Amino acid sequence: MKRDIITDPMLLSRKSVPAMQEDIQTAQDLLDTVIAHADHCVGMAANMIGVCKRIMAAQIGGKYQILINPEITDHSAQKYTAEEGCLSLKGVRTTERYAVITVSYYDEKFRKKMRTFRGFEAQIIQHEMDHFEGILI
């Protein structure tokens, strides 16, 4: 079910807790919501729909994929400066991102995965993981 987007910085600055198997419905709601904003949104963290669990939807390989409880297990030494926008914020801000990250996570069926992401996909994941920490760009 599509949910409203949270824009209150107080709510968005709360840290998210690990998700469990019973949070799968939140993953579906997140997908429904991000798809409703597909023309201007490449990723979304669950706290943006009011659920402080570590679940994100990110555009990977041309479609939205669910990453649950992602952890960066390795990253490139190199960082670069990126300009990012966020559906929960107005305007664009500058931040630093790793060019390459290796992430362990659970997929939408709660299967454990490990994958390396580069460039824009890596950037989306790092942006959404910041949301889990209550960090806004």
How far is it, in rounded angstroms, from Cα 121 to Cα 9? 25
Shortest separation between residue 89's beta carbon and Zn ion, angstroms = 7
Selected binder of Zn ion within 34, 55, 86, 129 (CB under 5 A): 86
Residue of minimal CB distance from Zn ion? 86
> HSE (CB half, 13 Å, CA atoms) of 24?
8
Q: Which stretch binds Zn ion (CB under 5 A): 3-11, 55-63, 78-86, 94-102?
A: 78-86
Tokens of 22: 């019973």
For residue 124, give the H/E element and its range: helix 119-132
Q: Which of residues 44-63 bind Zn ion (CB under 5 A)?
A: none
Sites of contact with Zn ion (CB under 5 A):
86
